[in-house]
Amino acid sequence: MTKKEFIILFLLGIVQTGIFMLVFQKKEQDLDPSLPIYHFDSQEKISYLNIKLKNSNFLTIEFKDDGYWLIDPVKKKADGYMMEDIKLLLQRITRDDKLDANEQNLKECGLQTPDVEASIKMTQNREIALKFGKTLPLTINGSEYVYLKLGSEPFIYQMFKPDFLIFTIPVDGWRSKKILNFAPQTVSEIKLSGLKFLRPAQIVKRDKFQDWFLTDPYQEVLDGGKIYQLFYFLQEIYAKEYVPKEKMSLDHPDYIIELTFDSGSKTKIHVQAKEADKIEQGKEPQFYVYLEGSDEIFYVESEKYSSLPANLDDFRFKVLYRFRPDELQKFEIASFKEGKLSTLVFEQKVVEDVIDGKRQSFQVLEIVEPKGILVDPSQRELYDRQQNYVQAFVQRFMKSEITSFLNRVSKTVVAKIVDVEKPECKVTFYLTNEKREFYFQESGTKGLVYVPVSDTEYEMFSVQKSYVKMLKGLHFNFYVEPIWKLDPKTVKKISLYQKIQSGDIVHFEYIRNGEEWKVDSNDYMVDTVRLEAALTRELAVLDQARIISDDPSDLGKFGLLDPLIICIIEGDNKTYKLKISDRYADDTYFATADDKLIFHIDSAVVRPLKENFLVKKFK
């Protein structure tokens, strides 16, 4: 056999196999009438749909480059999902219980002059004609079916009645419910007005900075996430009803949103809530949407209405101040208290350090005022700790949340409220090209902030009252020198005074005697192991980083004029005295070491002092 003859025989074999498969499939269909008549792959679409009611055109839909469009009786965007539904229901038609399409059967099934006809063309040039007849007199498994004639086929089939009803939906039901379709990244400008924006706002996209910038009524970078939330609302609202424009008008829109696109085209959207007294109970928010230039108004029911901004402030960042930390050159915190102005000043400094054998330079914010707080860089551990506190404060200020935007007031009004020379608390930031001032005050249950935004105007915010308190006492956070750092071996004597439940004071003195400890008591002896362990762990370093006051008049307020414990530790040429109270609650303790600075003290430090270091003698 030659190569050519082999190839010819091989091709003939393929053709025969194909013919056999087609015949086999046809026989299989004849044997199994439950198989669907139509099969469509995922790429095949309906390109044309025409429906006639009683032999008159009802509607026509065509597939175009930008989706499905109704072209008769109205020219409107069509719902592509409904076309997918038709594909699915066509694939549910089977040859079960077919009848011969003779004249008698056609007449009895209502198919000689059908009320509903549909012509469908597929993108792969397949044409399907459907005629719908009467409802079957009997239900099948509790479901209703209608008679169906497919093109010129010599049989009458059945279709599930709910599937048939899609062809009787009114024209508006075939329309796309999506009101607006656009790509958010192509929007270059937004204008906002209406009842919610009595002062119209203009927002532009600055591609250079990749942000959204408010240019009117004032200038400010806005929260891009909130802008895209507005876009999401506009893209995700769907019409429930269509109202001809001549039948109603939106005289008082809550929102007028004008979008300008990169192409220069504009779209203006009016949004107005339905009158409160006309909203049905238990329903989602109801409102109207109008696109300028349209001949109709869309009625919408959607919970998404609540996502619309209540006012321009909803687009703003809810933090006090946004800046780049590397641009911060200096900042000051000033508080006026009891006739004295206390100021904490930080400046950007360049420090050098040796890392991996190489000398490197770093920029850090150092405390320059008051002098007594700054730790010398040679004390590396304490210096790093202080730097961490400084950086933590800067980060916290950047994240500090505004609880509400209040209003803008004139400089003369603020002058009656805030003494700029003797501020309750003032924070000033000096950036590379900007200086920003914040005046804080406690007011009832909240904190108020006044920020100069021009030569004549201040803006007011509210913040948590605790945040203002923190700022007023902020300089306490930068004391990182420990009150004491004990060498347990140098401790010679411990005097412990403790108030017991009866109110009496018990006093014990622990005296080191070589490797042992003794106590001036006939009934008790010292648990040396426990005492040495406390000196090594809990009492070794006493921190003052959690200072809450430096005012001696607060000693009584925190229970330190009548303390729970007084502990005096004597060592080599040093004596430390500590007073501890539990004025407010269990495991909340306050202490002072000099009758001036008051600080929180950890319960782990207090516990061994409360339990003391004694064990009862056996007699």
Average pLDDT over residues 175-203: 91
> For residue 230, what are its two tokens?
């507005």
> Is 70 exceeded by the pLDDT of residue 81?
yes
Query: What is the distance between the alpha carbons of residues 346 and 379, in angstroms, rounded to a whole number?
Result: 19
pLDDT number for residue 186: 92
Which H or E element spans position 393? helix 380-399
> Is 80 exceeded by the pLDDT of residue 277?
no
> Is 90 exceeded by the pLDDT of residue 590?
no
**429-475 pLDDT, tens digit each:** 999 889 999 999 998 889 999 999 888 999 999 999 888 887 887 76
Query: What is the distance between the alpha carbons of residues 608 and 118, in angstroms, rounded to a whole number?
Result: 91
Average pLDDT over residues 338-358: 80
Residue 603 — left, alpha, or beta (φ > 0 → left; ψ -120 to 50 → alpha)? alpha
Q: φ and ψ at 36, to 5 degrees?
A: -65, 150
Query: What is the distance between the alpha carbons of residues 170 and 611, in angstroms, rounded to a whole number?
Result: 85
Q: φ and ψ at 235, to 5 degrees?
A: -80, -20
> Is 80 exceeded by the pLDDT of residue 381?
no
Concatenate the DSSP letters of all residues of 21-61 into one string: HHHHHHHHHHH-TTSBS----TT--EEEEEEEETTEEEEEE
Reduce the DSSP state of residue 557 to 3 states and report it: coil
Burial class (CB in 10 A: 0-12, 13-18, 19+), 129: middle
Query: What is the distance between the alpha carbons of residues 94 and 92, in angstroms, rounded to a whole number?
Result: 6
Query: What is the distance between the alpha carbons of residues 512 and 608, in angstroms, rounded to a whole number?
Result: 18
Q: Answer whether 510's CB lies under 8 Å from 531's CB.
A: yes
Smallest CA-to-CA distance from 141 within 96, 85, 90, 91 is with: 96
Q: Of 451 and 355, which is predicted with more confidence? A: 451
> For residue 592, what are its two tokens?
């002072």
Residues paired with residue 395 on neighbouring β-strands, in sequence order: none
For the chain, give percent helix, strand, coil, nearest 5: 25, 40, 35
Looking at this protein, which amino acid is placed at residue 24?
A: F
Average pLDDT over residues 315-324: 89
> Is 70 exceeded by the pLDDT of residue 6?
no
pLDDT band at 22 (very low <50, low <70, confident <90, very high): low
For 510, other C-beta atoms within 10 Å of its C-beta total 21
CA dihedral 59, 65, 67, 73 (to 10 degrees): -20
Report the first-to-last Cα separation within the chain, whole angstroms: 122
> For residue 582, what are its two tokens?
């539990």
Query: What is the distance between the alpha carbons of residues 121 and 45, in angstroms, rounded to a whole number?
Result: 9
User: Which of 30-39, 289-298, 515-524 comes out lowest in average pLDDT?
Assistant: 30-39
> Is 90 exceeded by the pLDDT of residue 60?
yes
Residues paired with residue 447 on neighbouring β-strands, in sequence order: 442, 463
> For residue 352, what are its two tokens?
């050098």
Q: Answer whether 329's CB lies under 8 Å from 458's CB.
A: no
Q: φ and ψ at 558, to 5 degrees?
A: -100, 15
> Is 50 exceeded by the pLDDT of residue 201?
yes
Query: What is the distance between the alpha carbons of residues 402 and 149, in angstroms, rounded to a whole number?
Result: 69
Q: Answer whether 37's CB lies under 8 Å from 149's CB.
A: no
Across 332-346, 365-379, 421-435, which has the greatest mean pLDDT?
A: 421-435
Reduce the DSSP state of residue 553 to 3 states and report it: helix
DSSP code, position 99: E
Report the chain's mean pLDDT, rounded to a whole number. 86
Q: Answer whether 313's CB lies under 8 Å from 202's CB.
A: no
Average pLDDT over residues 567-573: 88
> Is 60 exceeded by the pLDDT of residue 538?
yes
Length of the chain measured in residues: 619
Query: What is the distance between the alpha carbons of residues 525 and 615, in angstroms, rounded to a whole number?
Result: 5
Percent of the chain with pLDDT over 70: 91
Distance of CA 211 to the CA centre of its chain: 18
Pairing of strands 516-519, 588-592: unpaired
> Is 60 exceeded by the pLDDT of residue 27?
no
**493-505 pLDDT, tens digit each:** 999 999 988 888 9
